[in-house]
Structure 1
Amino acid sequence: MEAGEIGGALLFLLAVAGAVAAAVSVGAVDFSRPLAAGAPLGFQQAVSWLIGVLDGTSSAAADVYWAWVAVRAGVIAPVLQVAVWACMVMSVMLVVEAVYNSVVSLGVKAIGWRPEWRFKWEPLDGADEEKGRAHYPLVLVQIPMYNELEVYKLSIAAACELQWPKDRIIVQVLDDSTDPFIKNLVELECENWANKGVNIKYATRTSRKGFKAGALKKGMECDYARQSDYIAIFDADFQPEPDFLLRTVPFLVHNPEVALVQARWSFVNDTTSLLTRVQKMFFDYHFKVEQEAGSATFSFFSFNGTAGVWRTVAIKEAGGWKDRTTVEDMDLAVRATLKGWKFVYVGDVRVKSELPSTYKAYCRQQFRWSSGGAHLFRKMAKDVLVAKKSSHNAILDFV
């Protein structure tokens, strides 16, 4: 028997059981009395009664049917009606949000709006970084990875080649790999860059508790991490351009109310298949419309989990990384927003990455994001609604 047939049989049995229970609860069926005069007893009685229920010849069949109708009309139908209306309301909200964001995005492009219009941005010391190295803040670059055999060299190299005074940057590789061979390769790569004069740290854990959130949280417990001013985060398949910090960190330095600077993603495999082309379309909408509109109107927009720079104090004030959901990035962003921190989206700063190339990997990614978001909503809906520093836009965006 196929899984679908088994599921259908179970649903039928549950329906019959529910109908019988409803009939008993309203007194429509009394199993303490005989079903009919001269009816057989025991197992034969139960079988004959069930046959009568199914073919409609038993008097109890009518009782069960009308009891089931009453349950459907009085309980199930109202619940379904409320659910339908709730879905309709949420659909209308999504349409209104999409139209609003699209209009704002078109306006942003029409007037050439840039984040520098709202937030101050100046290079820290022009083109001579050695001359002004004392004015450069200490930046920690975190790279969480898990069995990343194909891309670990690219991500580590990109982080180690970031343009920043060597004594004001620390690259921290958070390796949660379970394959000893891969762990050894990653550690050797870190040693190679350390021999070149890069301040790089290799960190690993005995367990993967909390997964990515747990790794980031553990990484912040190091003394050198606590002393950092800002933390840049890149997933293992992301490779920032050398000038990434020079273009993003000044927003944090000159604007003390800003907690996060989020860059845009670009993709090296967006034309390899129909699946990656469709994904690129969705991500283009997310960055060009949703995040552009959120940043331009000073509304809430979430951290994307990578290709961003956080103010260390903001992470601590928001409660640090939590592993209660699979969307730890959105979790932290919401808590930071509730504390009154501002975010900046810089769309002209792009970080290369890869899209899931198989349908299975894509489904796994989307399930993690959607289920994690729903879980986070259940946990934080009350906090968002009662928070004193939440704006109406932030509440609507979170919903």
Structure 2
Amino acid sequence: MAEVSLKSFIPESFSRSTADITGQIGLLRELIKVPLVVPLLRIAVYLGLVMSMIVSVERLYMLIVVIFVKLFKRKPEKRYIWEPVQDDVEIGNAAFPLVLVQIPMCNEKEVYKISIGAACNLSWPADRLLIQVLDDSSDIKDMIEKECIRKASKGINIRYQTRETRRGYKAGNLKEGMKHDYVKECEYVAIFDSDFRPEPDFLRRCIPFLMHNPELALVQARWKFVNSDECLSTRMQEMSLDYHFTFEQEAGSSTHAFFGFNGTGGVWRIAAINESGGWKARTTVEDMDLAVRAGLEGWKFLYLGDLQVKSELPSTFKAYRSQQHRWSCGPANLFRKTTMDIVRNKKVSVWKKVYVIYNFFFVKKIMVHMFNFFFYSVIFPLTVFFPEVEIPKWGTIYIPFIVTTLSSFGTPRSFHLLFYWIVFENVMAFHRTKATIIGLLEAKRANEWVVTQKLGDALKNKSNTEAAAPAKKVRFKLRDR
């Protein structure tokens, strides 16, 4: 057999090229561009355009649902029975169901008093309300316990519970809290993270829906952010989360009576939790896992967009990035674990299975992150260097315009910040895509849980202190700004 050399595969012009490395790289680029790079880039563009169509159609669909709800005034009170709970002269407070309020926390020194104080101010008969503070702390255990003792001395029915380990993190904490005997008498459980501040009438607005509609498992309230004006980062976060609550939660509640539990600011029927298998603590988004299992058992969910619970946004990029890693990695990992269970389930319709797998998981939790990163931050810029690959105007102008404009409807006051929001979301798309891939592959960081740092009144107190004290030179890390 004749000897085959590398020269037989390389054009003569290449061998006669100069020794200049830059020139050789440029020539090699020209050699592989037409037969390899351009076709692959065209395929990537087509896939990106398909994904952009899917995302835009999904967002238009949610917009239509929300407009329909607003125009025809399809308020929750019209779709479900709602009657206020009132005192009964004959039976007294027995007309009120016994409600458990759970407050899970872990070393949250700056905010632990916030939700404890708000829970104690709930407008509900004292003998029909049980507040349970679930503490995974090690550093501030004594501080939280003293606060609970102080509240109990005022006649408030409050219990303080701790654990030896943090196994299962927040879900493990909630699971442990449900094991106590006194919880068995409760019919409903309201869950508030340590920085959440429910209004006094919160239970009086939520509980009647659960009392008069036995098919309902969950009533979820909307989050309202007390520090949204703190910095540009919090304004961007507010825009993203307001869109989630205004469109995603409203559309899911109005059409399928199903959406993902946000983990806090909601009230569960305890019977629905038990029937769905309880808190399993198998993912970092156990709240969403429980919602999926409850939905597959046939339970319905209700979102109350008019009921707002004050909360706090992460003030630093580091804290926000850790939160987004958990929120992106967890759903992807849950999708991996539950897809076949959803397919095999016989208690819900085929249409609901398709909705949960395709719309709830694939489009909203997986594809949208990858699409935003790969199409706008990788494929789109690459086409600049390859004029042979063209992207139609509807893919470069109209679709992005529609998607971006719809995303701003949740927060009209920040419309003028859309440019910054686009840049901010493109940066976060990288982190979310990485976390999504980790969750799908169940890689090393798939079950990572970092408590999102909240500052509460620390910034205000710090500002007051610094105003009175001489200015000091402060050293900081850029990533912690």
Q: 1:105 aligns with which of 66, 87, 93?
A: 66
Report the TM-score, using the length of structure 2 for normalisation.
0.64
Report the TM-score, using the length of structure 1 for normalisation.
0.77
Q: Is the 8 A contact 1:300 1:393 kept in 2?
A: no
Aligned twin of 1:187: 145
Q: How far did residue 86 of structure 1 move?
A: 6.5
- 247-256 or 132-141, which deviates more: 132-141
- Structure 2 unaligned blocks of 5 or more: 6-31, 363-481
Change (3 A) 1:93 1:197: same
Matched residue count: 331
Aligned twin of 1:336: 294
Question: For residue 374 of structure 1, what is the amino acid of its counterpart?
Answer: A
In terms of Rg, which structure is larger? Answer: 1
Q: Is the 8 A contact 2:76 2:304 kept in 1?
A: yes
Aligned twin of 1:397: 360
Counterpart check, 1:92 vs 2:50: no
Deviations 1:372-393 (A, max 9, x none): 1110000011112222214243
Question: For residue 227 of structure 1, what is the amino acid of its counterpart?
Answer: E
Aligned twin of 1:372: 330
CA distance in 2, matches of 1:269, 1:189: 25
State the superposition RMSD in angstroms: 2.7
- Structure 1 unaligned blocks of 5 or more: 1-27, 30-68
Deviations 1:339-395 (A, max 9, x none): 000000011111000000111111110011000111000001111222221424334
Change (3 A) 1:325 1:90: farther
CA distance in 1, matches of 2:229, 2:162: 35
Aligned twin of 1:357: 315
Deviations 1:200-224 (A, max 9, x none): 0000000000000000000000011
Counterpart check, 1:308 vs 2:266: yes
Q: How far did residue 298 of structure 1 move?
A: 2.9
Q: Is the 8 A contact 1:299 1:393 kept in 2?
A: no
Q: Is the 8 A contact 1:176 1:204 kept in 2?
A: yes
Q: 1:170 aligns with which of 117, 125, 130?
A: 130
CA distance in 1, matches of 2:154, 2:339: 49
Q: How far did residue 324 of structure 1 move?
A: 1.6
Q: 1:273 aligns with which of 219, 231, 242?
A: 231
What is the DSSP-based 3-state SS (H/G/I as helix, E as strand, rest coil) of the residue aligned with 1:309? strand
Q: How far did residue 168 of structure 1 move?
A: 1.1
CA distance in 1, matches of 2:292, 2:339: 10
Aligned twin of 1:154: 114
What is the DSSP-based 3-state SS (H/G/I as helix, E as strand, rest coil) of the residue aligned with 1:101? helix
Q: Is the 8 A contact 1:259 1:310 kept in 2?
A: yes
Aligned twin of 2:452: none
Aligned twin of 1:135: 95
| Structure with more contact order per residue of length (Cα contacts < 8 Å, sep ≥ 6) | 2
Q: How far did residue 90 of structure 1 move?
A: 4.6
Aligned twin of 2:343: 385
Q: How far did residue 144 of structure 1 move?
A: 0.2
- 76-85 or 207-216, which deviates more: 76-85
Change (3 A) 1:84 1:333: farther
Deviations 1:9-31 (A, max 9, x none): xxxxxxxxxxxxxxxxxxx99xx
Deviations 1:58-92 (A, max 9, x none): xxxxxxxxxxx9xx98xx99999998877665543
Q: How far did residue 163 of structure 1 move?
A: 1.1
- 307-316 or 294-303, which deviates more: 294-303
Q: 1:196 aligns with which of 143, 151, 154?
A: 154
